[in-house]
Amino acid sequence: MSNIAVFPGSFDPITKGHVNIIERALPLFDKIIIAIGKNSNKKYMYDSDKRKEWIINSFKGNNKIEVDEYDGLTVDYCKKVNANFILRGLRTSADFEFERAIAHTNHKLNPKVDTVFILSSEEYSSISSSIVREVASHGGDVSMLIGRGVDLS
Ligand code: ADP
């Protein structure tokens, strides 16, 4: 059986922090599906086509990575794509508390799916999409926060 992980998120936009987690998780899995969750209650700064394009650009040529969009429950999406793991990154203890509740709930909803956490590298642990959006919206330079594949202009 191959090990497939879903890395769910908003990726509004994808940052160096996300890329680092995905690159470090690659040796663990046969495939990682980066899945952009569509949440109708959430307001996004960048439209989903752009967010998807930036993720594709960030991993060009890597045949272990797929990029997709989904709505509904993450565990239902995992079932649909035969994924047995959810991948998430942890920056802080606040991330941990938040992620712990979601991981427990997801495991109850589908015991066949386990969540794997990778601790953020120190240099990326203060990066968040919301900080990128804030700086970018005021015309600041975000090049140290986002990867080569992302062009916010
Ligand atoms: P969501 O809206 O689901 O929180 P995000 O795109 O903000 O989506 O984050 C997706 C995942 O990436 C989460 O597990 C989050 O903790 C992780 N993540 C975000 N930024 C970083 C970072 N700088 N370092 C490590 N993990 C990160």
Domains of the chain, earliest start first: 4-137 (3.40.50.620)
Residue 148 designated active-site: no
Q: What is the pLDDT of residue 110?
A: 98
Cis peptide before 27 (omega within 30 of 0): no
Q: What is the pLDDT of residue 35?
A: 98
Q: What is the pLDDT of residue 50?
A: 97
Q: What is the pLDDT of residue 148?
A: 86
Count, in order, helices (H) and strands (E) of the chain: 5, 5
Q: In a mutational test of the pocket of ligand 1, which residue from 15, 43, 88, 134 has the highest number of ligand atoms less than 8 Å from its CB?
A: 88
Distance between CA atoms of residues 21 and 19, nearest Å: 6
Relative to the CA of 37, which ligand 1 atom is closest?
3
Instruction: Quote the pTM value.
Output: 0.96
Take atom 27 of ligand 1 and give the residue whose Cα is closest.
89
Residue 64 designated active-site: no
Distance 14 CA to ligand 1 centre (A): 9
Q: What is the mean pLDDT of each run of 10 residues along the chain (153 residues)?
A: 95 98 98 95 94 96 97 97 98 96 98 98 97 97 93 89
Take atom 9 of ligand 1 and give the residue whose Cα is closest.
9
DSSP for 8-68, please give it.
EE--TT--HHHHHHHHHHGGG-SEEEEEEEE-TT---SS-HHHHHHHHHHHTTT-TTEEEE
Q: What is the pLDDT of residue 52?
A: 97
